[in-house]
Amino acid sequence: MRLTAKRRRVAALQTRHDSSNALHCAGCSSHFNLPQSNKLVLLFVLTGLLLLCGAGFVTGAAAREEVQFWSAFSGGQPKTAIDKFVAEFNAAHAELGRVVKLDVPSSQLEQKLLTAVAGNVPPDLCLFNRPMVAAFAFRGAFESWDKHLSALGLSRNDFFESCWDEGLWDGRQYCIPFNTDVRVMFINRRLFRLAGLDPDSAPRTWDELREVSRKLTVRDAAGRLRQTGFVPVGGAFGNTYLPLFAFQMGDDLVDPAGRIRVNSPRCVAATQWTLDFARDYGVDQLMLLQTAGGNDELALFLQEKAAITGDEGYMLSLIRRYKPGLDFSVAPLPWPADGRPATWSGGFGLILPRGRELTPLAVAFTRFLCSREIQLEYGKIADQIPARKDAAADSYFTTDPNWRVFIGQMAYTRSLPVSPLSMKMFYDLIRAQEKTLYGVMTPKAALDWTQDQLDQEWTTLTAYDNRREWSWRGMAWTAMAALCAAAVWRLGRSWRAVRGMKLKRAEAFWGYVMALPAIVGLLGLALGPMLISLMISMCKYDVLSPARWLGIDNYRKLFTGDPLFFLSLWNTLAYTLMAVPTGVIVSLSLALLLNQRSWLRPFWRTVFYMPSIFPIVAGSFLWLWLFNGEYGLINMLLGLVGLERVPWLTSPLWSKPALIIMSLWGVGGGMIIFLAALQTVPAHLYEAAMIDGVNFWQRFRHITLPLISPVVLFVTVIATIGSFQVFTQAYLMTAGGPVDSTLFYVLYLFRRAFQEFHMGYAAAMAWTLFVIIGALTFLQFRLSRGMVNYDTV
C-alpha cells in the first residue's frame, strides 16, 4: 500500500498533465485506488487462461461414433431431402452412432474440402461436385471406393453409365454418383402463343431456335430489350452452354490421346454460333437485362422475360415456388442440322476424403443414400433425376410427360471430360466466351488462348514430377531455428549489457518480458513466415503431396508465361491510380468542408465516417444491389434525369469505376485524419492571410496544404498499400469478371493459392507484390521530397 502515500503527488502531477494534454486524458479519471488495480492485475492474468479456455471450448473433439458428412446442398429442396434422410437414418441406427451433417455451399465446397484435407480435419463422407472429382483424385485428396464396392453391393450397372464414369479416374472409382442434372429446354407457352407460335412444335434445330427466338424478342419504344427467346451465352450472363454446344456439334472436348482440347474447328464454330446469336439481341442490351434478377438467365425465365431456357429438373421446383401459374412445357434441346442430338449433365456424388477410415456406420449410410427407395424419394423431393437407373425407371418419372423428356435425354447425355483440368476448362470457357462477346477476341483466338492456358496448367501439374522432392518443412524448421538463434544471440548480447547496469536493470528486464508477445509474433508470424514464403516460392507445392524444388521457375513463369499475372497487376494498378487520388481529394475536401466551428460538426463527422466502418461483406451486398442494371437505385436515378442506364458490374468498361465509386463511400477514415491535421494549422496564419486579402484557394494552396502535406503523404501511402490489396469486394461482387476486368492481384493470388492450391506459385506472387508495394512506397516518398514540408510552425 505504499503507492497510496504518493497518491496526492501523482494527482497533482496529473492536473498539470491534464491541461497540457487534453487529447489523451479526455475522460481519464484522476483517481485510482488499489483494490481496483489489484482486480486489474487479476484480470490480466486471467486473460491468458480465458483465451485458452475459449479456444478449448471451440475445438472440442467430436464423439467417436459420429460420421461427419458434408453436403453441398445448402438450400432449397435438395437440402430438405438430405435433412430428412439423415434424420431417418439416425433414427434407424441410433444404437450404432450418428451421422452429423454439415452444409457447405457448393461455391465454397472445393476450397473448404481441400483446406480440410490439407489441414487433417476432413469429413468422413462428402457429397461432392462430380466434374471436380478428377482434379482432387489427381492430387491424392480422395480415397478410392474400389475396395468397399462389394461391401456396399454397388456396381456400374446400378447407375447411369455417364454418371458412374465421371467418378472414374486412373482406373479407380473415386465417386459414387448420387443425382444428375441433365439439361432440357423449357419453353413459356404463353409467350409462344403471344408471338403467334405454336407451343407444341418446339424448335428442333439450331436454325429453328434462332428463328423462333427472333420472333419472341420484344423491345420497348426506346429500343430497349424487354423480352428474349433463348439466350445462348453464359459468364457474367449466367450459366454457360459452351460445352453443351460443342457436344452437339459432335465434339467431345478431348483429342484422340485423351487430353482436353477446346480449340477444335467444331468448338470454334459452336462459339461463333453463340456469338452471332447473342448479337441478334445486342450484347449490351443483354447485359442490362440479365442483371435484373440475380445474374442468371434462370431468373429471367421465371420473370417471363426469356421465353426459352435450357435447364435441369430443379427448374420445376423453382417454377412451383416462384411462378406457380406458369404455362410451360419441356422439350429436348435443339441441335445443329449437321450435328448430333446431345445434352449435358453433371451432378453430385459421394466421395471419401483422404485420411479417414470408412467406418461400418459410414458404409451403412452410403448404402442407405444409394438405395433405390432413397434415390427415388430424393428425385421426388428435389425434382432431380436420381443417378440410380432403377429409381429413374419408376413410374413417377415414366408417366409424367415432362419427366419423360428428361429420362429420354439421359440416353444422349454427355459429361465434361474426366480430367484434373475439367473444372478449370469449364471456367476458362466462360472467360473465353465473354472475351468473344465483348469483342476482345475472335472465337478462334479466344479458344486458342484458353487451350494455351490449359496446356500450361497441365505442364504445371505433371512436368515437375521428376524434380527433386524437397522437404521445405525441414528447411523451415532450420530457418526458424536460425532466426530464433539470431534473436537469442542478439538478446543475450544486450542482456549482458543490461546486467552491467545497476540502476535500470529491472526496467530493462521488464522491457524484454513485456515486449515478448510482439517478439514472438515478429519471429513466428512475420519474419519466419517471410522466409518460409520465400522458400515455398521456389517450389511446386500443393500441400497434399511433397514439395518439389523448382528454383526460380515460378518467378520465370510469372514474368514470361502468365498473361493473367500481368492482367491482374494492370487491373490493380489502374484501380489504384484512379481510386487513391480521388479518394484523397474527396476525403480532403470533406475535411475542409467540415472544418468549421459548429455544434453540428460532430454529427456530420459521424455521418461521413459511418460508411467506412460498415462491414465490407454487408457493404458488398448493398452496392451489388445499388449497381443492379435493372432495379438498382443508381440506374433508376440516372433514368430519372434522362440518362442511359449503365451496365455497371456486367461491363468490363464500367466494373472498375463501379468499385471505385464504392470505395469513395468509405473515405471517412481519411477524412478524420485530415480533419485532425487541419486543426493543427495555427489560426494566426489564416488571420494574417485574411488581412492581406488572400482568397480561399490561395489560402488552401499556400498555407493549409504545405502544413498538412506530411499527412497527405501518409494518407496516400496507406491508401495505396490498401488499394493494392483490394480483395473482398471483387471476390464477392464480381468474382473477377466480367472478362477478368476486376481480377485484382490479391484475388488472383487467392485463387491460385486456396482454390487451385498452387502454393508455391502464389508465394512467388506474394513476394512480387511485396517488392512492388515496397518500390511504390519508396517512390512516393522520393517523389514527394520537396513537396512535403516537415517543419512545424
Partner 1 sequence: MTRYKQSCRRAVAGAPLAWTLAVFAVSLPFLVPLAWLISTAFKPDAKIFSFSLEILPRPATLDHFHRVLREFPFFTYMRNSVIVTALTVIAAVAGTCPVAYSCACLQWPDRRLVFSLLMLTMMLPAQVTMIPVFLIFRQLGWIDTFLPLIVPVFLGNAFFIFLLRQFFLGLPEVLIESARIDGASEPRILVCIVIPQCLPAVLTVALFAGMGAWNDFMGPLIYLMSEKNKTLALGLQSLMGQFSSEWGMLMAGALIMALPATIVFLVAQKYFIQGMSLSGIKG
- Considering only 66, 165, 296, 400, the residue that binds partner 1 (CB under 8 A) is 296
Cα 605 vs. chain centroid, distance in angstroms?
33
Binding positions for partner 1, 452-511, rule CB under 8 A: 476, 490-491, 494, 497-498, 504, 506-508, 510-511
Site stretch for partner 1 (CB under 8 A), options 48-56, 176-184, 446-454, 560-568: 48-56
Nearer to partner 1, 54 or 265 (CB): 54
**Contact string (CB under 8 A) for partner 1, positions 120-139, x = contact:** xx------------------
Binding positions for partner 1, 700-719, rule CB under 8 A: 711, 714-715
Binding positions for partner 1, 636-655, rule CB under 8 A: 636-637, 639-640
**Inter-axis angle of helices 472-500 and 528-536, nearest 10:** 160
List the beta strands (DSSP E) in 644-779: none
If we measure between CA atoms, which residue out of 103, 298, 87 comes closest to residue 181? Answer: 298
Q: Is the distance from CB of 314 to CB of 79 less than 8 angstroms?
A: no
Nearer to partner 1, 112 or 367 (CB): 112
Q: What is the CA radius of gyration of the chain?
A: 32
Q: What is the DSSP letter of 465?
A: G
696 binds partner 1 (CB under 8 A): no
Nearer to partner 1, 69 or 186 (CB): 69
549 binds partner 1 (CB under 8 A): no
Q: Which three cell numbers stand for residue 104?
A: 457447405
The size of the interface with partner 1 (CB under 8 A), counted in residues, is: 162
Binding positions for partner 1, 588-607, rule CB under 8 A: 590, 593-594, 596-598, 600, 604-607
User: Which residues, other chains included, contact 127 with Cβ-Cβ below 8 Å and sequence gap of 6+?
Assistant: 69, 70, 71, 72, 73, 82, 178, 348, 349, 350
Q: Is the distance from CB of 558 to CB of 768 less than 8 angstroms?
A: yes
Q: How many residues does the chain have?
A: 793
CA 756, CA 752: separation in Å to the nearest integer?
5
91 binds partner 1 (CB under 8 A): no
Binding positions for partner 1, 669-688, rule CB under 8 A: 669, 672-677, 679-680, 682-684, 686-687
94 binds partner 1 (CB under 8 A): no
If we measure between CA atoms, which residue out of 77, 78, 76 comes closest to residue 127? Answer: 78
Binding positions for partner 1, 275-294, rule CB under 8 A: 293-294
**Contact string (CB under 8 A) for partner 1, positions 374-393, x = contact:** --------------------
CA 199, CA 201: separation in Å to the nearest integer?
6
614 binds partner 1 (CB under 8 A): yes
Nearer to partner 1, 380 or 605 (CB): 605
If we measure between CA atoms, which residue out of 355, 533, 419 comes closest to residue 165? Answer: 419
Nearer to partner 1, 92 or 526 (CB): 526
CA 143, CA 426: separation in Å to the nearest integer?
25
Task: Give me the half-sphere count of Cα atoms (radius 13 Å) on the Cβ side of residue 38.
Answer: 4
6 binds partner 1 (CB under 8 A): yes
**Contact string (CB under 8 A) for partner 1, positions 57-86, x = contact:** -xx--------------xxx----------
Environment class of residue 371 by beta-carbon count within 10 Å: exposed (0-12), middle (13-18) or buried (19+)? middle
Judged by DSSP in three states, 308 sits in strand
- Considering only 67, 72, 81, 116, the residue that binds partner 1 (CB under 8 A) is 116
Residue 24 beta carbon to partner 1: minimum distance, rounded to whole angstroms: 4
List the beta strands (DSSP E) in 40-97: 66-71
Binding positions for partner 1, 748-787, rule CB under 8 A: 749, 753-754, 759, 762-763, 765-767, 769-770, 773-774, 777
Nearer to partner 1, 205 or 725 (CB): 725
If we measure between CA atoms, which residue out of 379, 335, 459, 7 comes closest to residue 160? Answer: 379
Site stretch for partner 1 (CB under 8 A), options 108-116, 249-257, 270-278, 409-417: 108-116
Site stretch for partner 1 (CB under 8 A), options 15-23, 86-94, 362-370, 378-386: 15-23
Nearer to partner 1, 441 or 662 (CB): 662
728 binds partner 1 (CB under 8 A): yes
628 binds partner 1 (CB under 8 A): yes
Q: How far is CA 382 from CA 130, 393, 582, 767, in A?
A: 18, 17, 50, 47
Site stretch for partner 1 (CB under 8 A), options 25-33, 89-97, 150-158, 453-461: 25-33
